[in-house]
Chain A
Amino acid sequence: MTLILTPNIPDPDGFYQELTDAQRELDEVAANDMNARLVLILANHVGDRKTLTEALALAAP
């Protein structure tokens, strides 16, 4: 497992607020569109294919 599953974000409460604030004024469609862009941006930042596959598996319903 290369995916980091232990706490890795400094200031967790601050990050969570920033994330939800960013979509507070958005309707469902706009929020979903933003999430799609966010996923792509973060996925590119991660880059490592194995890590991405592990993240997809973890997120799957």
Chain B
Amino acid sequence: MFSTYDAPVYPYVQSAEQAQGQPARHKVVVIGAGPVGLTAALDLAARGVSVVVLDDNNTVSVGSRAVCYAKRPLEIWDRLGVADRMIAKGVEWKLGKVFFGDRQVYQFDLLPEGGHKIPAFINLQQYYLEDYMVEAAAENPAIDIRWKHKLISLRQEADYAVLTVETPDGVFVTEADWVIACDGANSDTRRMVGADFTGQFFQDRFLIADIVMKADFPTERWFWFDPRFHRNQSALLHKQSDNVWRLDFQLGWDADPEVEKREENIIPRVKAMLPGVEFELEWASVYQFACRRIDQFRHNRVIFAGDAAHQVSPFGARGANTGVQDIDNLSWKLAAVLAGDADETLIDSYHEERAFAADDNLLNSTRSTDFITPKNAASKRFRNAVLDLAEKASFARPLVNSGRLSTPTPYLASSLNTPDAGIWHGRMIPGTVCSDAPVMAGGQPGWFLQQIGQGFTLLDFGTQAQPVSVGGVTAQVLRVGQEIDDSERLLAKRYDAQPGTVYLIRPDQHVAARWRSFNPAEAKIALARALAKG
């Protein structure tokens, strides 16, 4: 069915440990080579940790699946050197249209803030994203992706896990200091550790279909509430790469997935949505969803990330996008613990920060779901009132919720933060992801985020900061006016900087602490706190 993409088939290779029947002890084993697992491999390798990735399949995702990638995960992939290809291949839309019944009630133009390297989001089929990351991983000797390796059981000892794995050559046993489970919403690993995964199931089904348009069609996102071609349901149209368009039809709970998936039933739906448009159907799937999260992100030596840890509704593109941010949070912590630079309590802060973010995502996605599929007559009356008024008055438009695009959740209450002293303005509160800004570095135009993220950084808007160390971890100084120039004065503006202002920035590009003047003793205490030694 795929006319625009040939999925690669990755070779199965028998591992030396299976051939020799000698279990090896790996530092980290990642379960699942989807967007989250592949990001884990690239990030850990970038931080000097060798990784084995086990995947029970031997190719990329079948179908476009996740299609919308937000700014923050793209920034993370940029740190890992894989974002340029994604952005070049991806599609950016700016104009969105909202329809209610037969009428367009309004349209909006996305006007993202300037002065950032990475766009607000791109649309791109998941298989391209995985394809690019597999290629990058193959070039990295610290990453060993093992295709056709299915985890069939897992046992935990005090400080390592024993994994039984099935391959085309049979069953073998391997060991890992740490396991990162990125095996999706139906995670087998989660079942193996007996974790609870609870929340709200939605009694609804959705049909998603990828079509190739045969003629030009505007690069816009169209969302319909209760359209004439699909009464009492919602529908969505947006563009991906290669002139492939994603269509999304809400079906209701009574729909039969097997019947709805048939081409002869999909074609009339598409024709009713896009009368007179010539197209070819490329891929379709019927899904239902739940909003739920795992009880604990860490179960001794097994750590959960992505859909294995939290499942959200698709509205707002919060699945893969938040999963990648889980990894951003976890990788530096795991690398620090493996290097002996931090205690395991730092890993527990992964649950603290990412469970908080997951709950925020669940809240947002549940709100979108309740707007799109009102749960009683009163909700539906208000929903329709909002849509009616949106046509006449702009005040109602912010109430229209067809999905709020994923943005990073600040870890405002995190135990790794040092609370502010004094008066600060702007967004860069401790626990917040660092804002990008154009800078000059080494005489060349570049971007601020490219200058940080390897380790801890002391961003100095003055002249006094000196490196500080806690154990084997050193926060290096990045001085504005020396290593980088704030060529457009946006860095100082976004960081509310005055002469002498210093920020302590974590390896995942989050603000840990900030001061109006540098004090080495305070900086050292803040660094220790950010390593969970506070």
Q: Residues of A at under 8 Å CB distance from B?
A: 32-33, 36-37, 39-41, 44
Chain B positions 379-405 with a Cβ under 8 Å from a chain A Cβ: 381-382, 384-386, 388-389, 393, 395-396, 399
Which of A36, A39, A41 neighbours the largest number of chain B CB atoms within 10 Å of its CB?
A: A36
Whole-angstrom distance between the alpha carbons of A53 and B385 in the complex?
Answer: 20
What's the minimum C-beta distance from B100 to chain A, rounded to whole angstroms?
Answer: 13
- Report the interface size for chain B: residues with CB under 8 A from the other chain: 11
Looking at the complex, which one of B381, B384, B395 makes contact with A44 (CB distance below 8 Å)? B395
* Number of residue pairs spanning A and B whose beta carbons lie under 8 angstroms apart: 24
Q: Would you call B381 and A36 a contact (CB within 8 A)?
A: yes
Whole-angstrom distance between the alpha carbons of A19 and B384 in the complex?
Answer: 21
Q: Residues of B at under 8 Å CB distance from A?
A: 381-382, 384-386, 388-389, 393, 395-396, 399
Looking at the complex, which one of A36, A41, A44 makes contact with B382 (CB distance below 8 Å)? A36
Residues of A within 8 A of B384 (CB): 33, 36
What's the minimum C-beta distance from A61 to chain B, rounded to whole angstroms?
Answer: 12
Whole-angstrom distance between the alpha carbons of A32 and B379 in the complex?
Answer: 12
Q: Would you call B385 and A33 a contact (CB within 8 A)?
A: yes
What's the minimum C-beta distance from A34 to chain B, rounded to whole angstroms?
Answer: 9
Residues of A within 8 A of B382 (CB): 36, 39-40
Whole-angstrom distance between the alpha carbons of A39 and B399 in the complex?
Answer: 13
Q: Would you call A33 and B389 a contact (CB within 8 A)?
A: no
A41 nearest in chain B by CB position: B389
Q: Would you call B386 and A40 a contact (CB within 8 A)?
A: yes
Whole-angstrom distance between the alpha carbons of A33 and B378 in the complex?
Answer: 9
Residues of B within 8 A of A39 (CB): 382, 385
B386 nearest in chain A by CB position: A40
Residues of B within 8 A of A33 (CB): 381, 384-385, 388
Whole-angstrom distance between the alpha carbons of A40 and B394 in the complex?
Answer: 12
Whole-angstrom distance between the alpha carbons of A33 and B399 in the complex?
Answer: 17
Q: List 7 A-B contacts (CB under 8 A).
A: A33-B384, A33-B388, A36-B385, A37-B385, A37-B389, A40-B399, A41-B393
Whole-angstrom distance between the alpha carbons of A39 and B378 in the complex?
Answer: 13
Whole-angstrom distance between the alpha carbons of A36 and B395 in the complex?
Answer: 15
Residues of A within 8 A of B389 (CB): 37, 40-41
Whole-angstrom distance between the alpha carbons of A37 and B399 in the complex?
Answer: 12
Q: Would you call B395 and A37 a contact (CB within 8 A)?
A: no
Whole-angstrom distance between the alpha carbons of A52 and B384 in the complex?
Answer: 20
Residues of B within 8 A of A36 (CB): 381-382, 384-385
What's the minimum C-beta distance from A27 to chain B, rounded to whole angstroms?
Answer: 14
Whole-angstrom distance between the alpha carbons of A33 and B377 in the complex?
Answer: 11
Q: Would you call B381 and A40 a contact (CB within 8 A)?
A: no
B382 nearest in chain A by CB position: A36
Whole-angstrom distance between the alpha carbons of A40 and B384 in the complex?
Answer: 11
Whole-angstrom distance between the alpha carbons of A39 and B383 in the complex?
Answer: 12
B390 nearest in chain A by CB position: A40
What's the minimum C-beta distance from A49 to chain B, rounded to whole angstroms?
Answer: 14
Whole-angstrom distance between the alpha carbons of A33 and B385 in the complex?
Answer: 7
Residues of B within 8 A of A44 (CB): 395-396
What's the minimum C-beta distance from B33 to chain A, rounded to whole angstroms?
Answer: 45
3 tightest A-B CB contacts, nearest first: A36-B385, A37-B385, A44-B395
What 8 new A-B contacts, CB under 8 Å, besides A32-B381, A36-B382, A36-B385? A33-B384, A33-B385, A36-B381, A36-B384, A37-B389, A39-B385, A40-B396, A41-B389
What's the minimum C-beta distance from A59 to chain B, rounded to whole angstroms?
Answer: 13
Whole-angstrom distance between the alpha carbons of A39 and B386 in the complex?
Answer: 10
Whole-angstrom distance between the alpha carbons of A21 and B384 in the complex?
Answer: 23
Whole-angstrom distance between the alpha carbons of A44 and B398 in the complex?
Answer: 11
Whole-angstrom distance between the alpha carbons of A32 and B382 in the complex?
Answer: 10
